[in-house]
Amino acid sequence: MGYVQPRKFSTTPSRALKQFFPAPDAPSIRTTEAAWPHPIYTKEQMDSVVIAHREAKTWSDWTALAAIRTMRWGLDLATGYKHDKAVASGQKSSKNANQKHVMTARKYMIRNVFLESVAGVPGMVAGMLRHLHSMRRMKRDNGWIETLLEESYNERMHLLTFLKMAEPGPFMKFMVLAAQGVFFNAMFVAYLVSPRTAHRFVGYLEEEAVITYTREIADLDAGRLPEWENLAAPDIAIKYWHMPEGHRTMRDLLLYIRADESKHREVNHTLGNLHQKDDPNPFVSEYKDKSIPHPGKGLHHPKPTGWERSEVI
């Protein structure tokens, strides 16, 4: 069966409120290469991504976990996200589920757009503050800034990809504006007070993102999202992730995005384990013995709950 081109899912109930985006192909515009080329993921690596949770061990961890649970509740409320765990686990069919808990393609797309519109904030805030801190101290940052900015750039690419399939209306744009304003300032203050707690918070945030995308893939496989079954990934996604021929469906796209979120989970939990001022960034470091598992940009040696400081320093 052939794939159909991406179509846009309105995030507003009325077609009159739709905000139309430019056509996917703009011949008069020359595209540029990505600022940070994306590493190549294999299908086996993406399929091996698992849901994981790092247990809170310190007051800093518990503070971050409490904050993410509060944010998760607010995000679920704002996006209308309710997921029937019995349906997800296969204990009952979607026909027998409470319809308020049945996630549709439209509901998922609303959540994805909203989630990715704020997910790009932490890396930018942390990278900016570390950039200024490096200049004030007149010392190198040991590779942290680039990784944090790359994370923010990657999250924005997720958003731009979804915007090729979604059409946010005025209300959704207002929600994004309000959430981004609050979240930016909260992250700014949090990173000034305790960078370690901020990284742990983002690690827990990415844990939730992996859960959400895993549920989307499961619902798609179970036939609960018929709109996405033959949907092709947009051109922006194919170019950014270097998606090979025959692996350019909506399901493939979700696999790539989930893999990215799993990497952000690993990176931030690892950074939260390090000394914030002087430890080098292990994800851009060169290792003498490359045969030994070590952190890197790809998914070659995944550590869902992060690398401990003793393992990388």
What DSSP designation does 232 have? Answer: B
Helix axes 170-193, 105-119, angle to 10 degrees: 40
287: amino acid identity, one letter: Y
286 is in an annotated binding site: no
62: amino acid identity, one letter: W
Length of the chain: 313
DSSP secondary structure string for all residues of 64-120: HHHHHHHHHHHHHHHHT----HHHHTTSS-GGGS-GGG---HHHHHHHHHHHHHHHT
53 is in an annotated binding site: no
- 231 forms bridges with which residues in the sheet? 4
150 is in an annotated binding site: no
55 is in an annotated binding site: no
In angstroms, the Cα distances linking 127 to 123, 133, 144, 217, 260 are 6, 10, 7, 32, 18
- Output the known binding site: 116, 155, 158, 206, 261, 264
- Output the known binding site for Fe cation: 116, 155, 158, 206, 261, 264
